[in-house]
Amino acid sequence: MSTKLSPLNDSTVNVASSGTTDRGTKILRKTDNTMDKNSFLKILSAQLSNLDPTQNQDSSAYVSQMAQFASMEQMQNLNTTMSDSAYQQMVGRTVITNERDNNGSYMQGYVTKVLKESGGTYLKVLLNGKEEKLSVENVIGTVQANDSNTNANSRTALNSDFLAASALANKQEKVVIATLDDNKKTVLIKGKVTGAYIDTVSGATVKIKVDVFDDNGKSTGETKTYDYGDIVRAGDLADDDMKVNLNSDTTGDSTAKENAILSKIAGV
């Protein structure tokens, strides 16, 4: 005889053995009511094991069920891949956890590592100067990337440009610059680098001082300052290396800026 079942309360039962079916199959019920591919296979296995061999069976129903299983498995794999990608992007960012400090505010920490274990995905987070292991389920948000880490990366890039510009200046290497003239036309300036410095007045940029050449490749005696980012070519350049042509002479502010970029590409 089968056991009579009483209604279960999902909020109070974790995993309850609720009796058996008429054929003796044990009934289990979970509180989250979620179905994964393992649950699907268990149901299908129970269904197949309880078939009556004396009765004709409609195979189309099982084909349909297997198609549903394949579709569900693909969606689950896609969801796992997207979740893993999102977790990896947390490295180097500040996250908000569901833990509170003494003032009742949500604690924030810097993610240093993502760990994928059998029990789930975990983050190594710096909280109050200590590295702690937290489940991704404890993360309730992220902080926009305008923190000290971003500033540190910007300073690193600035220092790298300054070192490269200083190396050009120390050897007084030749350079080709793409810039805009008074008519907003893109022009090429050729010369040799004589100095480099960091300008923080008009934004943190690296400037280079250039001894400008004339059309014959001779010094004009005039020194001008340009942005390091405007360099098209630089280094131990031969005369042929200094021959860089612009793609067009189109006027206009926005078009001229585009031409400046194109001229850099054309000179590579």
Query: Closest Cα to residue 125, out of 115, 47, 217, 239?
Result: 115
- Using CA atoms in the order 181, 182, 185, 189, what is the torsion angle rounded to 10 degrees? -10
For the cut 70, the answer to whether the pLDDT of residue 93 exceeds it is yes
Q: Which range, of 110-114, 132-136, 147-151, averages the lowest pLDDT? A: 147-151
Structure tokens belonging to residue 100: 């509170």
Q: What is the mean pLDDT of residues 96-123?
A: 83
Q: Which range, of 68-77, 148-157, 221-230, averages the lowest pLDDT? A: 148-157
* Annotated domain spans of the chain: 16-47+62-79, 89-144, 150-266
pLDDT digit string (tens) for 139-179? Answer: 888 776 555 555 666 777 888 888 999 999 999 999 999 98
Check if CATH label 1.10.10 holds for domain 150-266.
no
Most confidently modeled of 149-163, 187-201, 248-262?
Answer: 187-201
Q: How far apart, in whole angstroms, are the C-alpha atoms of residue 169 and residue 226?
A: 13
Instruction: Classify domain 89-144 by CATH number.
Output: 2.30.30.30
Q: Cβ contacts of residue 123 below 8 Å, gap of 6+?
A: 87, 90, 95, 111, 113, 114, 115, 133, 134, 135, 136, 139
For the cut 80, the answer to whether the pLDDT of residue 2 exceeds it is no
Q: How far apart, in whole angstroms, are the C-alpha atoms of residue 20 and residue 2?
A: 6
Domains 89-144 and 150-266 share a fold: yes
Q: What is the mean pLDDT of residues 103-126?
A: 83
pTM confidence score: 0.39
First to last CA, the chain: 85
Strand boundaries in 72-138, DSSP class E: 94-100, 106-117, 120-127, 130-135
Parallel, antiparallel, or unpaired for β 26-30 and 15-20? antiparallel
